[in-house]
Amino acid sequence: MRVNKNFLALAAAVISCIIVVWFSTSIQGDYKTYEVEPEITLPEYRTDAGRAIDAYERLMERYMDLTEKNLFMVAVDIKDVAKKLDSIEHKLTELCTRIAGIEKALDIKQSNQPAEKKPQTESLDIKSHQNSSCSATD
C-alpha cells in the first residue's frame, strides 16, 4: 500500500501539474487572430478616348477662365472710356455755354446755313450725342 500511496501521491502531483499547465496556457489565451484589411489602390483602367476627353475638359476649363478674365478686362476698359467720354461731354457743354455767352455779349447771330456736310460714317449714338450737346440758344 505504500507503493500505492506513493503512486497515488505522484499521480496526483503529475495531474495537478498538468492541470496547472493547462490552465496557465488557457489563461494566456489561444492564438490571437488579427483582421488585416489591405489598402491597396490600383489606378482606374483608362482608355485613350477617356484620357482624350479629360484633356479636352481641362483645356475647355482653361479657355473659359481665360475668356472670363479677358471679358473682365474689356469691361474695365469700357468703363474707363465711358468716364473719359463723360468728362469730354462735360467740357464741351461748358465750352458751348461760354461760346453762347460770348456770342450774346458781342451780339453775334448764328447763320442758319448748315456747315459743309461730311460723309455719314458716324454711328447713330455719336450723331444723337452731337445734336444734343451744343446749341447756340442755351
Tell me, what amino acid is at 8? L
The one-letter amino acid code at 129 reads H
Write down the mean pLDDT value for the chain: 80
User: pLDDT (tens digit, 9 = 90+) per residue, 99-137?
Assistant: 999 988 888 877 656 556 666 655 545 545 454 445 544
Q: What cell does 73 get?
A: 478686362
Grid cell in block for residue 46: 483608362
Q: Which helix (H) or strand (E) holds 107?
A: none
Over residues 35-76, the pLDDT tens digits come to: 888 888 887 888 899 999 999 999 999 999 999 999 999 999
Predicted structure pTM score: 0.40
